[in-house]
Structures are given as C-alpha cells and as structure tokens.
C-alpha cells in the first residue's frame, strides 16, 4: 500500500475526488542474479498503471512503467482527461543515479464549457539524481503540438515543435 503523505497534495487529491492511497500487487520471481517484479494497482480500472522492474544483486534496477489508455472524469469540476498509452523507462542505481525516457503520445482534456486541450507527442529523457530536494542532472523534452480550442473548435492557443533542454 502506498499513501500520499504530503498534506497539500493529499488535500488537493481529496478535493478532486482522487484516491490518496493505492494498493499494489506484485508477481515476484527470483533469478540467479536478479529479482523481477511485475506490479499493478489493485484498482486497475481507475488507473491502468503497471510496472515491470528487474533488480540486480548489486541493487541497480531497470524499470518500465506503462499507463494504458486512460479516461478520467471529474463531475464536480466538469473536466475529463483521456490519454493514449504512455511509457516511462529507465534505470536507477543504488547511489540514486537515474536515467529515464518518457513517451506520452497524446492527452486530451475536455472542459464542461466545450473547450479542449490537446497534447501530442511529448517525449523526454534525462539523467541525474535527487539531492536535498533538488534535481541535479540534465533532461530534454520535445513536444510536437499543444493546442487549446474553444467550443466551436476555433484555435485559442497553439505551440508546435517545442523543445526544452536543461
């Protein structure tokens, strides 16, 4: 069981009708030199998230985190979110060094007033480590398209071919 402990985040999640605890089941297998785990949320209908990890004898771990196609609707706020399958892959050492790659093909947010936000082809990668609350490392992200349209599908905001490196 994983629980959100940050009081501000917990309050916001509760306000949005989102869970603050998550039960996880894992199928674990032992190899000669590693431990493999396939984990998923017990309430997989709410959030179809799975993780495959392989931990070596020295503690270094490779992981694949998959979010299947997902749809969430918050009736109280009049918003819904839909995603295509997204993936985070990477590896982390026992010293806390992290390498990762992110792929989010598409996200659509629909608002009660008819406006829509579309995100297409967000990819990223990075390497570094967390130290004393700070990310020490480098990362790069690219975004093919982010647009917002009004209820008549008239463009309100558009970003195309954006890149970030830091």
- The pLDDT mean for the chain works out to 94
For the segment 53-69, what is each residue's pLDDT rounded down to a tens digit? Answer: 999 999 999 999 999 99
pLDDT band for position 76 (cuts 50, 70, 90): confident
Q: Which residue, 101, 104, 57, 108, is CA-closest to 82? A: 108
| DSSP letters for 58-74 | TS-EEEEEEE-SEEEEE
Q: In the chain, what are the domain boundaries?
A: 69-165
Token code pair at residue 117: 């936000």
Q: How far apart are CA 50 and CA 18, in angstroms?
A: 18
- CB of 42 closer than 8 Å to CB of 21: no
3-class SS string, 77-109: CCEEEEECCEEEEEEECCCCCEEEEEEEEEEEE
Point out which residues pair with 74 in neighbouring strands: 79
pTM of the predicted model as reported, rounded to 2 decimal places: 0.84
């Amino acid at each position: 069981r994983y629980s959100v402990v940050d009081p501000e985040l917990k309050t916001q999640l509760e306000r949005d009708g989102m869970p603050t605890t998550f039960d996880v089941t894992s199928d674990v297998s032992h190899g000669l030199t590693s431990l493999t785990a396939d984990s998923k949320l017990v309430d997989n209908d709410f959030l179809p998230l799975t993780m495959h990890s392989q931990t070596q004898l020295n503690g270094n771990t490779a992981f694949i985190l998959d979010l299947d196609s997902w749809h969430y609707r918050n009736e109280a706020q009049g918003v819904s979110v839909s995603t295509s399958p997204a993936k985070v892959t990477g590896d982390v050492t026992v010293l806390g060094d992290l390498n990762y790659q992110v792929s989010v093909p598409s996200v659509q947010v629909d608002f009660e007033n008819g406006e829509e936000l579309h995100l297409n082809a967000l990819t990223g990668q990075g390497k570094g480590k967390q130290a004393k609350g700070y990310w020490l490392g480098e990362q790069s992200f690219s975004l093919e398209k982010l647009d917002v349209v009004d209820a008549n599908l008239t463009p309100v905001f558009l970003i195309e071919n954006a890149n970030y490196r830091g």
